[in-house]
Every structure is written in structure tokens, then in C-alpha cells.
């Protein structure tokens, strides 16, 4: 295996995706494999799936990065809002390394996407503070300052107007309340205006599946900061995880 490759695994609630990643190009070095997330998705069950997935790539020998949908501090999972409660307190780095026989580094899923977008995607070549948000079931966030990740920002959980921000401004909120793009854009403007006041970022990047429809809502936002759609989309987790494993 080339020294310019690592392996990325994106662990989600319904699917686990993995592929070797070309770290020069920021793209898959082989076709991605997707398997269903085991139920219940306990740490041990997920680790076993990782080992099985990796067995399909016998030529891959380098470091592995794994996304986790929760806070990750020095490889230890600190929250489990959308995954099995038994993840809290799990040393994911140690568990996954033992299961795979390889060096594994876990990272928050939004942080992985943020790293990928800054190195290879919508924020490539940009300096200063880049704030990447993923609009989906909740709101994920990544703060990257001059290419350096500030981990576990969890800005979807800011309290705004007495609400947890993602309960009002996530894509799930838009869908469940059947909001028009115009009404949703007003909520998004309130959310991003709050982020502007707190962080004064140089750039917002918007990811998540809904970013494919960015032309329908981004022009409706009233902000002072430039805001652009993510470009790596569903590749961002795998690519960012692999990148994290080598940094």
C-alpha cells in the first residue's frame, strides 16, 4: 500500500461505509463498501463489522480513521445522542485497534467532514476560521482554524431562543414540520447569525444531504459571512476519517 493512502470508515445509524483513501487526491482509492449497521449497534458489534469490512481490502495496511456520531476525546466516546448508550465511556481507539489488528483513530463525524472539506473540498485553500455545518437529523459542526481542527464543537446544541438549535433548524425539523424553504431559511438565518456573533468566521460550509439542494435555500439566508455548499458530500466522512488517522 502507498504511504499516501489510509483507510476511512464512516459509522452511521443505518450504514457503515469504508474505503481506502488517496490522501493526495482526497478521493477513494478503491470502490467504497457499504454494510448495514448491526442492531443493536453496541461497540463490540460495530467493531466486529469493521473487522469484516476491512477483510475485503487485503492490500490495505495503513492507519485507519473511524467516524463516531458523538463527542470523541483522545479516542474515548463521550456522548451517544443517536447511538447505543453503551458507547459512552468506550475507548474506541483501543477497541477498534484490537478488533482489526491495526492502528485506529476515532473522530467525531462532523469533525471528519470538516477536515475533508477544508483540505480537499469547498474550503480548500481558505485561511482563517472555517465553520462547517452538516444539516441532517441534527446539526453537526466542525471548527477549523488555518487547517487545524478544534474538535467536538457540537454547535447544533447551542440554545437559541430557548430551544436546542437543531430541534428548530435541522433538516429533520424542516421535514417534520413541513416547512417551506423560505420559512426554514429564516430559522437558518437566526442560527447562522448566532454563530457569526460567537465566532466571526471567515467562511461557512454547509453539508449534509440537503446541501444538494443548496440553490433553493442558501440564497435566502441573510448573513454577513460567505456561505457555500459542501462539495465532497457523502464522501466527506470516509475521506476525513482517513485524513484524521494520519494527522
Q: pLDDT digits over 87-115, tens only? A: 999 999 999 999 999 999 999 999 999 99
Question: Residue 189 sits in a domain of what CATH number?
Answer: 3.30.420.40
Are 84 and 154 contained in the same domain? no
- Which domain, by its residues, includes 85? 5-111+241-245
Instruction: State the DSSP H helix or E strand holding residue 151, giving kind and residue range, or none if neither.
Output: none
The predicted pLDDT at position 1 comes to: 44
pLDDT score for 80:
84
Q: Which of 118, 134, 115 is nearest to 126 (CA)?
A: 118
236 in a structural domain: no
Indicate the number of domains in the chain: 2
Give the N- to C-terminal CA distance of the chain in Å, as an integer.
18
The answer to whether residue 117 sits within a structural domain is no
pLDDT digits (tens, 9 = 90+) for 20-48: 999 999 999 999 999 999 999 999 999 99
Q: HEC states along 162-221? A: CEEHHHHHCHHHHHHCCCCHHHHHHHHHHHHHHHHHHHCCCEEEEECHHHHHHHHHHHHC
Torsion of CA 33, 144, 244, 41, to 10 degrees: -50
Q: pTM for the whole thing?
A: 0.94
User: In which element (H, E) is residue 130 found?
Assistant: strand 129-135
- The answer to whether residues 104 and 13 belong to one domain is yes
Beta bridge partners of 187: none
Amino acid at each position: 500500500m502507498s504511504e499516501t493512502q489510509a483507510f476511512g470508515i464512516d459509522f452511521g445509524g443505518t450504514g457503515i461505509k469504508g474505503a481506502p483513501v488517496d490522501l493526495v487526491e482526497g478521493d477513494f482509492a478503491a470502490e467504497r463498501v457499504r454494510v448495514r449497521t448491526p442492531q443493536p449497534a453496541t461497540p463490540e458489534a460495530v467493531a466486529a463489522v469493521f473487522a469484516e469490512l476491512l477483510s475485503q481490502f487485503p492490500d490495505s495496511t495503513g492507519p485507519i480513521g473511524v467516524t463516531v456520531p458523538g463527542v470523541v476525546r483522545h479516542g474515548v466516546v463521550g456522548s451517544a445522542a443517536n447511538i447505543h448508550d453503551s458507547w459512552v465511556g468506550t475507548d474506541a481507539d483501543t477497541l477498534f485497534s484490537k478488533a482489526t489488528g491495526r492502528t485506529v483513530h476515532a473522530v467525531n463525524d462532523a469533525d471528519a467532514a470538516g477536515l475533508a472539506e477544508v483540505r480537499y473540498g469547498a474550503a480548500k485553500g481558505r485561511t482563517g476560521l472555517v465553520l462547517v455545518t452538516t444539516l441532517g437529523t441534527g446539526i453537526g459542526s466542525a471548527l477549523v482554524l488555518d487547517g487545524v481542527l478544534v474538535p467536538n464543537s457540537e454547535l447544533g446544541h447551542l440554545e437559541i431562543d430557548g430551544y436546542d438549535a437543531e430541534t428548530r433548524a435541522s433538516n429533520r425539523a424542516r421535514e417534520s414540520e413541513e416547512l417551506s424553504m423560505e420559512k426554514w431559511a429564516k430559522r437558518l438565518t437566526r442560527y447562522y447569525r448566532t454563530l457569526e456573533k460567537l465566532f466571526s468566521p471567515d467562511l461557512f460550509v454547509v453539508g449534509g444531504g440537503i446541501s444538494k439542494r443548496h440553490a433553493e435555500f442558501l440564497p435566502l439566508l441573510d448573513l454577513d459571512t460567505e456561505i457555500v455548499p459542501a462539495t465532497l458530500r457523502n464522501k466527506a466522512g470516509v475521506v476525513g476519517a482517513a485524513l484524521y488517522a494520519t494527522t
